[in-house]
A and B are shown apart, each in its own frame.
Chain A
Amino acid sequence: MSEVVLQARAIGKSFPGVRALDKVDLTLAKGSIHALLGENGAGKSTLIKLLTGVHRLEEGELLLDGKSVQFDDPHAAIAAGIGVVHQERNLIPRFSVAENIMLERLGPSVLSRVDQATLRAEAKRWLDLLELDVNPATPVMRLSAAKMQLVEIAKALSLRSRVLLMDEPTASLTPHETEHLFTLLQRLKRDGVTIVFVSHKLEEVLQICDSVTVLRDGRNACQSQPMTGMGRQDLVRLMIGRAEQIPAWETRDRTTAPVALQLDKVSTSLGHQDIDLTLHRGEILGLYGLVGAGRSELAKCLIGLFPLTGGKVTIDGQPAAIGSVAEALNRFGLGYVSEDRKQEGLVLAHSVLDNAGIAVWSKLAGFLGFLKNGQIRERVLPAIERLEVKTPSLAQQVGLLSGGNQQKVSVAKWLAAGVRILIIDEPSVGIDIKTKAYLHELIRALADDGTSVLLITSDMPEMITLADRIAVMDGYRLTGTLVNDRDYPRMSQGIMNLIHGEEQDAA
């Protein structure tokens, strides 16, 4: 193995009641891309926090260039050349790109005048290095999610990071942007930078990483193994201790069932044009497209968050002009599981009972709006039990549950409300493989029971596992609909053709 830059030896970390990490080793070679994998709760975040000085190291040893180091705070880690690009953005929206990159070095002293020209010149250097074509004077809030990501990388590099930890860097990127990022990472690697790549997308990991460390339940499932000879199945086996099961479900055809939701030449205030869509009773209709294709936006227009500007929506044969989510829910039995669980899906500070019950309050309210917790519990418990939400009690604050359980609560909410049409947006973002498989079975079971599901996902295997038919969207238009025959290579090719074809037309 080539020169080792950072090594962690027998690192442990305990929180009261939880052993988060136990004797974990990690060896990072200079100029390599190292995958750090594990299910949610396996200890990846804790490890990253220990490496970057967010948590203090109390057990085990950290060696930088062979010398033992101890980071007391994140600044110490940055000073030692360990940079991190977090999953969530850490940029100041109204500040310019240059100011964001140079935030810690705006001038020699706090009172000296900020020299914008110098800042921009310095920032430009790093932007050029990344071949990122943005004006350093642009406020960050005008950039796309992908460019913000790259600005963060530029910032980390400008701090002379030799080790760059990236937590789910491709979560908000399109395939094209991802490719661009990968070219960049390859170049950084050639320049001697060590990159730690944390991702749930195994295809990407296989494509780009040189070595891999897998954590499982706070321990090493493997430690810094070369990636050569590893396949997707091997990684999955290491992560969950068994091979990934591709469910051999029968194909379903619901096109003869009554129509639940019909869109006829719908256009919206967000820019959708001529959308025709038919969702049958008990059908799972997939809506595939790249990030930015307008799928979530369409969902939000359908539930009444944004107005339609043309066309006709029919629900159960009745024309539906939906003006608010309350109307969508109460009059048409239409619910939406948001992709943004923390902002739109749940009230994190409130209890499981309040979150799961939020959509039934108006139905259960009696005289003077009187609600009985017992009644709510009665409505909510079957959904909670059916989804196997793991919570110490219904009074538990939802924000304290794991991501998977939070997602279950946000689905349970609509089940309890008895919706007949459910739009589910990216059901498995940030959820571990076991929970994901379980959610899939659940969505399928819901459809079998007659709920119509409009499924939005960017996860191709998930789409092919679940959907009966797949509608493909690109640039706020529908480009075609396929019947899912569950043949992965053929379906993914067909979907890609539909996206690609539109791109060629546009060009």
Chain B
Amino acid sequence: MQPASSLPLGQPRSAGSPSFVRAGFLGGNEFGLIVLIVVFATLFTLATKGFASPFNLFTLGRTMGIDILIGFSMMVVIVSGGLNLAVGAIGVCAVMAAGWAMETFGLPWPLGLAVCLLVGAALGAVNGEAIVRSGVHSFIITLATMSIFFGGMVFLSRAEAFRELPPAIAAFGKLRLMGFLSPLLLVAVATALVLGWLYRFTSLGRRMLAAGASPKAAEVSGIRVDRTIVGCHILSGVLAALAGAMLTARHGAAIPSMAGHLGQDWLLPAFLAPVLGGTLLTGGKVSVLGTLLGAMLVSMLTNGLLLLRVGEFWVQAFLGLLLLTAVLLDLGRRRLLARHRIAV
């Protein structure tokens, strides 16, 4: 008997278990975030004066743009199953290096931006290589490099800001489109499109997801997991540097303390956005739109609460609470879906 001839060609999509249905958009994080954003926006508009004013929308958009980038810089390593505590340090180091280059050599801003992104990539590569070669968890490595990068930067710059930057940078930060829209928000949206394209349509993005979801299986399937993880960290460094550049545009100067001590001010927004957005902390699942919406929600809440004259510290406490609630809610949602055998 020739076995080949006896192989029936099936209809792979017809048969199978009908017991699972997909949750779809309405059951996803993204939809929940949109609802929350609409609810809070309405609330703040009604409860405060000035929330919906063109100027507030402009400053809010600027903050959103930066927070979104910070969220992305963390998201791209969370995808690989790791994390990067050094995002803030990398962001500040990158802009300080660019600030120095622009002041010293009189580089125009496009070259300054290039220096900034390159330094971000290089520092990310250092993180990635250290993690891959040592086999130590990214938590420890990036905790160490956070201090090293930041300390090195403070030493080299003597903690002095670079304020004599090309005027185009500050002008970009002040630019208002149609009276209320900051171009920084557009930069963030453009970045989101690029990242969405990366994960959906490119081999590299797919590899990052596979390496994060199951490093062993990915390795045995011919993916170079090590290189992929280094790639994730380089990307994280570039995005952190871009976030730093946007922050510099807002301040009109490169300031060592603009992300707090050791760049720690960035950590809460960095984790909040991806987690709210439904990116799995264990790696392998990503939602670019979710991170974008998560960051928008966080910036909007901060802005609205400050307009309501809630103290800065309460806002921080509130954001921490939000992170916990988000995680718990997501857990509950998953259980509910699992109980009804709905695949996410």
State yes or no: do A and B come from one complex.
yes
Give me the interface of A with B, judged by CB distance under 8 Å: 15-18, 247-249, 303, 305, 324-326, 328-330, 335-336, 338, 340, 343-350, 354, 357-359, 361-362, 364-365, 368-373, 381, 384-386, 388-397, 400-402, 405, 413, 417, 440-442, 444-445, 448-449
A-B contact pairs, 5 of them (CB 8 A): A362-B203, A389-B12, A391-B16, A400-B343, A448-B4
Complex Cα–Cα for A128 and B13 (A): 54
Give me the interface of B with A, judged by CB distance under 8 Å: 1-4, 6-13, 15-20, 22, 201-207, 209-210, 213-214, 216-224, 284-285, 340-341, 343
Complex Cα–Cα for A372 and B197 (A): 11
CB-CB under 8 A for A329 and B1, given A343-B216, A388-B12: no
Complex Cα–Cα for A393 and B204 (A): 24
Q: State whether A392 touches B17 (Cβ < 8 A).
A: yes
- Residues of the A chain whose Cβ atoms lie less than 8 Å from the Cβ of B2: 448
Which single residue of chain B is at the shortest CB-CB distance from A438? B7
- Residues of the B chain whose Cβ atoms lie less than 8 Å from the Cβ of A393: 13
- Residues of the A chain whose Cβ atoms lie less than 8 Å from the Cβ of B221: 325, 358-359, 413
Complex Cα–Cα for A402 and B11 (A): 17
CB-CB under 8 A for A396 and B343, given A346-B217, A391-B12: yes
Q: State whether A336 touches B204 (Cβ < 8 A).
A: no
- Residues of the A chain whose Cβ atoms lie less than 8 Å from the Cβ of B17: 17-18, 392, 400-402
Cβ distance B27 to chain A, nearest Cβ, rounded Å: 15
Which single residue of chain B is at the shortest CB-CB distance from A326? B222
Q: State whether A371 touches B206 (Cβ < 8 A).
A: yes
Complex Cα–Cα for A364 and B206 (A): 12
Complex Cα–Cα for A343 and B218 (A): 10
CB-CB under 8 A for A390 and B15, given A361-B206, A368-B202: yes
- Closest 9 A/B residue pairs (Cβ): A17-B19, A365-B203, A388-B10, A445-B4, A441-B3, A329-B222, A369-B202, A361-B203, A347-B214
Complex Cα–Cα for A18 and B20 (A): 10
- Residues of the A chain whose Cβ atoms lie less than 8 Å from the Cβ of B216: 340, 343-344
Complex Cα–Cα for A344 and B22 (A): 26
Q: State whether A386 touches B217 (Cβ < 8 A).
A: no
- Residues of the B chain whose Cβ atoms lie less than 8 Å from the Cβ of A371: 201-203, 206
Which single residue of chain B is at the shortest CB-CB distance from A338? B220
Cβ distance A471 to chain B, nearest Cβ, rounded Å: 22
Instruction: Report which of B16, B214, B220, B222 forms a contact with A390, defined as CB distance below 8 A.
Output: B16
- Residues of the A chain whose Cβ atoms lie less than 8 Å from the Cβ of B218: 347, 358
- Residues of the A chain whose Cβ atoms lie less than 8 Å from the Cβ of B1: 247-249
- Residues of the A chain whose Cβ atoms lie less than 8 Å from the Cβ of B202: 365, 368-371
Q: State whether A347 touches B217 (Cβ < 8 A).
A: yes
Cβ distance A224 to chain B, nearest Cβ, rounded Å: 30
Q: State whether B19 touches A343 (Cβ < 8 A).
A: no
- Residues of the B chain whose Cβ atoms lie less than 8 Å from the Cβ of A347: 210, 213-214, 217-218, 284
Cβ distance A206 to chain B, nearest Cβ, rounded Å: 29
Complex Cα–Cα for A335 and B217 (A): 13
- Residues of the B chain whose Cβ atoms lie less than 8 Å from the Cβ of A345: 217, 220
A15-B19, A358-B222, A373-B201 known; 6 new pairs, CB 8 Å cut-off, are: A324-B222, A371-B206, A385-B10, A388-B9, A389-B12, A392-B13
Cβ distance A264 to chain B, nearest Cβ, rounded Å: 25
CB-CB under 8 A for A441 and B7, given A349-B285, A361-B203, A394-B13: yes
- Residues of the B chain whose Cβ atoms lie less than 8 Å from the Cβ of A338: 217, 220
Cβ distance A374 to chain B, nearest Cβ, rounded Å: 11
Which single residue of chain B is at the shortest CB-CB distance from A408? B12
Which single residue of chain B is at the shortest CB-CB distance from A363? B203
Complex Cα–Cα for A346 and B284 (A): 13
Cβ distance B253 to chain A, nearest Cβ, rounded Å: 35
- Residues of the B chain whose Cβ atoms lie less than 8 Å from the Cβ of A396: 16, 20, 343
Q: State whether A392 touches B16 (Cβ < 8 A).
A: yes
Q: State whether A392 touches B204 (Cβ < 8 A).
A: no
CB-CB under 8 A for A384 and B12, given A365-B202, A370-B201: yes
Q: State whether B8 touches A388 (Cβ < 8 A).
A: yes
- Residues of the A chain whose Cβ atoms lie less than 8 Å from the Cβ of B209: 350, 354
Complex Cα–Cα for A405 and B210 (A): 20
Complex Cα–Cα for A298 and B104 (A): 59
Complex Cα–Cα for A325 and B226 (A): 12
Q: State whether A344 touches B12 (Cβ < 8 A).
A: no
Complex Cα–Cα for A248 and B1 (A): 8
Which single residue of chain A is at the shortest CB-CB distance from B343? A397
- Residues of the B chain whose Cβ atoms lie less than 8 Å from the Cβ of A16: 19, 340-341
Instruction: Report which of A335, A343, A445 forms a contact with B214, defined as CB distance below 8 A.
Output: A343
CB-CB under 8 A for A372 and B222, given A343-B217, A347-B217: no
Q: State whether B343 touches A336 (Cβ < 8 A).
A: no
Q: State whether A249 touches B20 (Cβ < 8 A).
A: no
Cβ distance A392 to chain B, nearest Cβ, rounded Å: 5
- Residues of the B chain whose Cβ atoms lie less than 8 Å from the Cβ of A249: 1, 3
- Residues of the A chain whose Cβ atoms lie less than 8 Å from the Cβ of B6: 441
Which single residue of chain B is at the shortest CB-CB distance from A412? B12
Q: State whether B210 touches A358 (Cβ < 8 A).
A: yes
Complex Cα–Cα for A390 and B7 (A): 14
- Residues of the A chain whose Cβ atoms lie less than 8 Å from the Cβ of B219: 305, 325, 344
Cβ distance B264 to chain A, nearest Cβ, rounded Å: 32
Complex Cα–Cα for A382 and B207 (A): 23
Cβ distance B196 to chain A, nearest Cβ, rounded Å: 13
Complex Cα–Cα for A357 and B207 (A): 11
Complex Cα–Cα for A440 and B1 (A): 13
Cβ distance B13 to chain A, nearest Cβ, rounded Å: 5
- Residues of the A chain whose Cβ atoms lie less than 8 Å from the Cβ of B18: 17, 392
Complex Cα–Cα for A359 and B204 (A): 13
Q: State whether B220 touches A336 (Cβ < 8 A).
A: yes
- Residues of the B chain whose Cβ atoms lie less than 8 Å from the Cβ of A15: 19, 341
Complex Cα–Cα for A249 and B4 (A): 12
Q: State whether A348 touches B19 (Cβ < 8 A).
A: no
Complex Cα–Cα for A48 and B1 (A): 41
- Residues of the A chain whose Cβ atoms lie less than 8 Å from the Cβ of B7: 386, 388, 441-442, 445
Cβ distance A394 to chain B, nearest Cβ, rounded Å: 7
Complex Cα–Cα for A370 and B203 (A): 7
Q: State whether A386 touches B341 (Cβ < 8 A).
A: no
Q: State whether A442 touches B217 (Cβ < 8 A).
A: no
- Residues of the A chain whose Cβ atoms lie less than 8 Å from the Cβ of B207: 361
Complex Cα–Cα for A127 and B3 (A): 50
Cβ distance B181 to chain A, nearest Cβ, rounded Å: 29
Q: State whether B201 touches A392 (Cβ < 8 A).
A: no
Complex Cα–Cα for A441 and B2 (A): 9
Which single residue of chain B is at the shortest CB-CB distance from A335? B222
Q: State whether B12 touches A358 (Cβ < 8 A).
A: no
- Residues of the A chain whose Cβ atoms lie less than 8 Å from the Cβ of B22: 395
Q: State whether A18 touches B210 (Cβ < 8 A).
A: no
Q: State whether B222 touches A359 (Cβ < 8 A).
A: yes
Complex Cα–Cα for A247 and B1 (A): 9
CB-CB under 8 A for A305 and B214, given A370-B202, A392-B16, A396-B343: no
Complex Cα–Cα for A169 and B284 (A): 32
- Residues of the B chain whose Cβ atoms lie less than 8 Å from the Cβ of A384: 12
Which single residue of chain A is at the shortest CB-CB distance from B344? A397
Which single residue of chain B is at the shortest CB-CB distance from A361? B203
Q: State whether A386 touches B214 (Cβ < 8 A).
A: no
Cβ distance A52 to chain B, nearest Cβ, rounded Å: 20
Which single residue of chain A is at the shortest CB-CB distance from B19? A17
Complex Cα–Cα for A381 and B7 (A): 15
